[in-house]
Amino acid sequence: MARGTVVQKIIEAHFVEGSRETGKPVAIRIDQTLTQDATGTMAYLELEAMNVPGVKTELSVSYVDHNMMQNGPENRNDHLYLQSVAAAKGVRFSPPGNGICHQVHLERFGVPGKTLIGSDSHTPTGGGIGMMAIGAGGLDVALAMAGKPFRIPYPKVIGVKLTGKLSPWCAAKDVILKLLSILTTKGNVGSVVEYFGPGVATLTVPQRATITNMGAELGVTTSLFPSDESTRVFLKAQDREKDFVPLAADPDAEYDQVIEIRLDEIEPLAACPSSPDNIKSVRELAGTKVGQVLIGSCTNSSYRDLAMVAMTLKGRRVSESVTLSIAPGSRQVLEMLARNGMLADIIASGARILETGCGPCIGQGQSPADDTVSVRTFNRNFAGRTGTKGDQAYLVSPETAVAIALTGEFTDPRTAGIEYPNVVEPEVFEINDNMIQLPGGSGEIVRKRTIGAPPVNQPLPDELDGVVVIKVGDKITTDHIMPAGIHLKHRSNIPVYAKVVFECFNEAGRPTFAERASAVRDSGKAGIIVGRDSYGQGSSREHAAICPMYLGVKVVAALAIERIHSANLVNFGIVPLVFANPADYDSIGENDSLVFHSLRGQLRPGEPVRGELTKADGTKKEIVFNHRLSAEDIRIILAGGMLNL
Ligand code: F3S
């Protein structure tokens, strides 16, 4: 077990109950929560269902940043609900236009040494300021707001030792892409990445936040940096020096695993389609024609990032063969660029300025043309996330993105003949919190017709007569399970949103997944989903559990299930099982029957679960599954989910 690490110190300071043994559940007190609108409506509906009069955390903030397009009333209906329920329950509200949750939280609310859970998988952005910041499903966030502790497996700590200093045009984004090339997106469940070493001091808080943000793609519980002089400087510039506390690992700290990254050896990198760990150097890709460049997202839209972009674009013209669109991460960033004239330099170059928010990162507009290479400073490039089928999305740093925008093709910025702009971090940021709405008021909650209620589940049956409704392959993301984009506006209306579960697997002439699952449910049987490796990776989208639950799914069986998704399945009464013998994955097919006798009795911590598989030709076989469910998880599943409990 790791000793003397920052992670261990924060857990110790927030320890409620549980084990200090790696992999065993530990419950920690949560100081802060954040929600965003895509997951937040369900989180607050769940909080309401718990009859909690007001939140019990030190600070909770509700952000609107994902769904701001108002092409129909649904999104604005959600915003009004979120605004009113925040006021009624003691939550601060950050309305559309104020910025992306992680960027604003880092600027205005993040505090070193505190715990934060957020209903968004990139909540670990807060690790850049020394928080233990974890992404979770909306229901877990609702429970934290209700004052309940949050359970995680006691983490394995991967220490990443940084030495040296980044060279010009080589960025924090390249550091995390490098780490993704080493650790990949698979096999890191239950770990925390902690950065240490002399290279840490050379990185500013926004640079560190880029690194911890995209640590989410590793599948780890969170990533974090120590809190040091850079942290104090950042907080002072945000007029929050009083929030600074130093936080460092002991000099003799022991990590479970150590990886060394020499910052001076980092070169511009790109994550190629369609996985964040499919890494190549920009050098290797040089000359590849590009049709679209997008700069923004919670990974790369800090003041530093966009000031560098503006200084590079100044006096130049974006290539005629690309569109360049830029979404500032927060109103603070946009306002500062507007006041110091950099916004004018960006506009004059031919770039398009998008609204401050997630925008194209969540498929809200800017889908690329067919057969077009799209280069993004975002954190995810899963197939189809852009909104275009067969998309070719690459993830790069803002430094690389701006060089590509000027040339229209993959260009190593070090060789583009442009002088590296010397961005000076502001000594004082533009502080203007006038959009943050404080709780209070009449307490009346605005509930328009599109605001539904969380669906009700039944307790887990003892005899589970299941049918495999779908069998999928490796790396199925929550985007595959529950598409976002234009469908996201139905997130508060589960019967409507559930119609598009696994939409990307639907085939012409065959009933959709939703139709097949409903038919199984209505016949009195249970739906079963079979997945392969890293099932449920990606976002914290709990709709990827709620909507299958609504359609009657009771079991997900896979070779491996990602942490947040597994927790969401438990919260909504779906049993997450792992094949004890991976070869059994090949034995199972769609429409096969899988019966679990005495399932309620079979579910015990650490004990296998046996199911009886019957193929269409009548052949039978016993299949053994493992799970990582704690006694508490099992209690939740038996009740049919956390809300029932
Ligand atoms: Fe938003 Fe994309 Fe981040 S959807 S929260 S900018 S990953």
Residue that is last in its domain, among 393, 415, 437: 415
Task: Compute the average pLDDT of residues 49-60.
Answer: 95
Task: Compute the average pLDDT of residues 360-387.
Answer: 94
CA dihedral 499, 502, 506, 510 (to 10 degrees): -60
563 vs 303, residue with greater confidence: 303
From the CA of 361, how far away is ligand 1's center (Å)?
6
Which atom of ligand 1 is the closest one to the Cα of 539?
A: 7
Tokens for 30, please give them.
């949560």
Active site residue 120: yes
Task: Compute the average pLDDT of residues 620-635.
Answer: 96
Residue that is last in its domain, among 229, 250, 265: 265
Task: Compute the average pLDDT of residues 269-285.
Answer: 97
Q: Which domain holds residue 380?
A: 269-415
Task: Compute the average pLDDT of residues 391-413.
Answer: 98
Calpha distance 217→184 (Å, rounded):
8
Catalytic residue among 31, 65, 243, 533: 65
> Residue 85's closest CA among 116, 64, 54?
54
Measured at the CA of 227, the angle between CA 226 and CA 231, to 5 degrees, comes to 130
Calpha distance 172→212 (Å, rounded):
10
Please report which confidence band the pLDDT of residue 541 belongs to, taking 50, 70 and 90 as the band edges: confident
Euclidean distance between the first and the last CA atom of the chain, given in angstroms as a whole number: 33
pLDDT tens-place string over residues 544-557? 999 999 999 999 99
Question: Given a cut of 90, is residue 475 above it in pLDDT?
Answer: no
**pTM to 2 decimal places:** 0.94
Calpha distance 26→123 (Å, rounded):
20
Task: Compute the average pLDDT of residues 235-257.
Answer: 98
Active site residue 522: no
Please report which confidence band the pLDDT of residue 274 belongs to, taking 50, 70 and 90 as the band edges: very high
Task: Check: CB of residue 547 under 8 Å from CB of residue 482.
Answer: yes
Please report which confidence band the pLDDT of residue 242 belongs to, taking 50, 70 and 90 as the band edges: very high
Question: Cβ contacts of residue 497 below 8 Å, gap of 6+?
Answer: 482, 487, 490, 491, 543, 547
Position 484 scores a pLDDT of: 85
Please report which confidence band the pLDDT of residue 335 belongs to, taking 50, 70 and 90 as the band edges: very high
Which atom of ligand 1 is the closest one to the Cα of 299?
A: 3
**Taking the alpha carbons of 379, 383, 385, 389 in that order, is the dihedral positive or negative?**
positive
Structural domain count of the chain: 3
Domain presence at residue 448: no
Please report which confidence band the pLDDT of residue 179 belongs to, taking 50, 70 and 90 as the band edges: very high
Beta-bridge partner residues of 191:
156
Question: Given a cut of 80, is residue 1 above it in pLDDT?
Answer: no
Task: Compute the average pLDDT of residues 18-26.
Answer: 95
Domain shared by 273 and 238, yes or no: no
Question: Given a cut of 90, is residue 453 above it in pLDDT?
Answer: no
Domain presence at residue 479: yes
CATH value at residue 375: 3.30.499.10
Active site residue 541: yes
Position 574 scores a pLDDT of: 98
Task: Check: CB of residue 67 under 8 Å from CB of residue 75.
Answer: yes
Which atom of ligand 1 is the closest one to the Cα of 297?
A: 6
3-state secondary structure of 623: strand
Please report which confidence band the pLDDT of residue 257 belongs to, taking 50, 70 and 90 as the band edges: very high
Domain shared by 471 and 508, yes or no: yes
Please report which confidence band the pLDDT of residue 385 belongs to, taking 50, 70 and 90 as the band edges: confident
Q: What is the largest CA-CA distance in the chain?
A: 74
Domain presence at residue 104: yes
Domain presence at residue 603: yes
Domain shared by 95 and 177, yes or no: yes
Beta-bridge partner residues of 117:
33, 134
Task: Compute the average pLDDT of residues 153-167.
Answer: 97
Measured at the CA of 454, the angle between CA 451 and CA 455, to 5 degrees, comes to 120
Please report which confidence band the pLDDT of residue 538 belongs to, taking 50, 70 and 90 as the band edges: confident
Domain presence at residue 62: yes
Domain shared by 225 and 317, yes or no: no
Domain shared by 218 and 71, yes or no: yes
Position 454 scores a pLDDT of: 87
Domain shared by 224 and 139, yes or no: yes
Catalytic residue among 120, 174, 412, 633: 120
Give the residue, by CA position, lying nearest to ligand 1 atom 3. Answer: 298
Catalytic residue among 122, 151, 331, 380: 380
Question: Cβ contacts of residue 532 below 8 Å, gap of 6+?
Answer: 472, 473, 474, 475, 476, 558, 559, 585
Lining ligand 1 with CB less than 6 A are 66, 100-102, 120, 122, 297-298, 358, 361-362, 379
Residue that is last in its domain, among 396, 415, 434: 415
pLDDT tens-place string over residues 499-534? 999 999 999 999 999 999 999 999 999 999 999 998
Q: Say what percent of the chain tops pLDDT 90.
A: 92
Active site residue 14: no
Pocket test for ligand 1, best of 94, 105, 361, 364 (most atoms within 8 A of CB): 361
Calpha distance 327→375 (Å, rounded):
14
Which atom of ligand 1 is the closest one to the Cα of 361?
A: 2
483 vs 6, residue with greater confidence: 6
Domain shared by 300 and 408, yes or no: yes
From the CA of 519, how far away is ligand 1's center (Å)?
35
3-state secondary structure of 28: strand
Catalytic residue among 14, 66, 79, 92: 66
User: Which backbone phi and psi does 492 adopt, to 5 degrees?
Assistant: -95, 5
Domain shared by 160 and 300, yes or no: no
Domain presence at residue 327: yes
Task: Compute the average pLDDT of residues 263-280.
Answer: 97
Question: Given a cut of 90, is residue 363 above it in pLDDT?
Answer: no
Position 539 scores a pLDDT of: 78
Domain shared by 107 and 242, yes or no: yes
Give the single-character DSSP code of 503: G
Catalytic residue among 84, 223, 539, 630: 539
Domain presence at residue 427: no
Position 84 scores a pLDDT of: 98
Position 98 scores a pLDDT of: 98
Task: Compute the average pLDDT of residues 121-131.
Answer: 97
Domain shared by 487 and 353, yes or no: no
CATH value at residue 528: 3.20.19.10
User: Which backbone phi and psi does 7 adopt, to 5 degrees?
Assistant: -55, -50
Domain presence at residue 186: yes
User: Which backbone phi and psi does 99 adopt, to 5 degrees?
Assistant: 135, 175
Domain shared by 251 and 292, yes or no: no
Give the residue, by CA position, lying nearest to ligand 1 atom 5. Answer: 298
Give the residue, by CA position, lying nearest to ligand 1 atom 4. Answer: 362
3-state secondary structure of 452: coil
Average of per-residue pLDDT values in the chain: 96
Question: Given a cut of 80, is residue 119 above it in pLDDT?
Answer: yes
From the CA of 340, how far away is ligand 1's center (Å)?
26
Task: Check: CB of residue 576 under 8 Å from CB of residue 603.
Answer: no
Q: Say what percent of the chain tops pLDDT 70.
A: 100
Domain shared by 500 and 629, yes or no: yes
Please report which confidence band the pLDDT of residue 486 belongs to, taking 50, 70 and 90 as the band edges: confident
Task: Check: CB of residue 277 under 8 Å from CB of residue 181.
Answer: yes
Task: Compute the average pLDDT of residues 333-360.
Answer: 97
